[in-house]
Structure 1
Amino acid sequence: MSPTAVDRVAAVLREQILDAQLDAGTRLVEGDLVEAHGAARHTVRAALRALADEGLVTIAPHRGARVAGLDADAIVALYELRAALEVEAAHLALAKHGDVLPPSVHEAAEVLARACGRARPGWPTVSRAHADLHTALVRAARSPRIEAVHNRLTAQTRLFLLQVRPHYTFARLADEHLELVDDLERHGPEVLRLHLRAAAGSVVDGVLRDP
């Protein structure tokens, strides 16, 4: 099915938000977006509503739309949901593949490491590679329902990673995820819970210090 005008506008805005071209709190003025995208006003409104459903935009009566951020409560809630899904997915993946992870997970980790190891790493590429690794891990569980719910978190997970960014170097991000894949096979799914908790904790601490 070909993308609609709403899909196209939403896709452009989504990537601008997730690639850090639009900061949290940035106003999204309908008139400006109509002109920038050559779209009808109702198309822009529908695109903004779609992004609001994904948690990337907030829309307030009489105040319009803004790029969403994640406060401490939202980060903790996202961590709890991701942990529930991803730790169970890791458990299933290991059980179904003889206590090892399939090549697709190892390959995704290597892609992330290469993206981080470039002379000038690009944040959009790194962000997508990070999301692809966690998606590969969930897919390895071969549980369509877990995968379907996890897919709906992809945009918020990348939004969260924007807040992790100041706390990590590219090298650290690569090393931790290569180590994560290795440790999952050595020590089991609980290492993934610790990994997710550590990432959330680094951002929540920062949010609490500097609201």
Structure 2
Amino acid sequence: MVRTVRRVAAIVASGLAAGVLSLGPTTSASAGPTPPPAGVEVTGAGMAEPLRLSADTHPTEVSAVIDQVSFLANARTSADPDKSDLGPKYTVVVFTGETPKQAYDLYPKASGGPRIYRPAKQPSSRKATAGWFFGRLTMSETLRTVGVPLERQLDTVGGGAGGGERLIPEDAINPTRDIDEALSELQRLLLLNVAVVLTIGFGLAGITLLIRRRSR
């Protein structure tokens, strides 16, 4: 059962890699033998040596990393970010067997959300259009779980790529503050209700007194 799951995961990883390798303009190739298994290599801040993963032995991890860049074929480029707000850089190289094919620079801790840079110069002879993209919200946790030395990020909202604010602000996750605000609002509501009841009561008493005086 485990071998079957690994085999399916490896096939999925190879399929994702094939999709990634078609991101740039390509020329048609004649049919050939089954390509070797996909793989990825990650290098970057805090890493003493490259992290190399193959779909043969780590199919789930390879699929997860490739998924971080596989959507770029249909994604629009974004404006160039402020380089001082990008945070640590991690370069991901996608392999077919032992041959590097595509390279991407990932910035999981960028201000405003993860960013990806696709350089025009690629390891293979394929041409790519250089550009910046918004990355997936899960980028930081994905890299961390496959072995990249990143701190655990608990406030990530799952989902795909897109612009805008991508992380929940820390001050928004404060249950104590929310409870205090709710109790304060409830107290104001109760005081308002008491004031309304007293006003109605005094009004009715005044009307009753006026009617009695006129009836004498």
Higher relative contact order (CA 8 A, sep 6+): 1
TM value normalised by structure 1: 0.22
TM-score normalized with structure 2 length:
0.21
Whichever structure has more strand as a proportion of its residues is: 2
Task: Judging by fraction of residues, say which structure has more helix.
Answer: 1
Greater radius of gyration (CA): 2
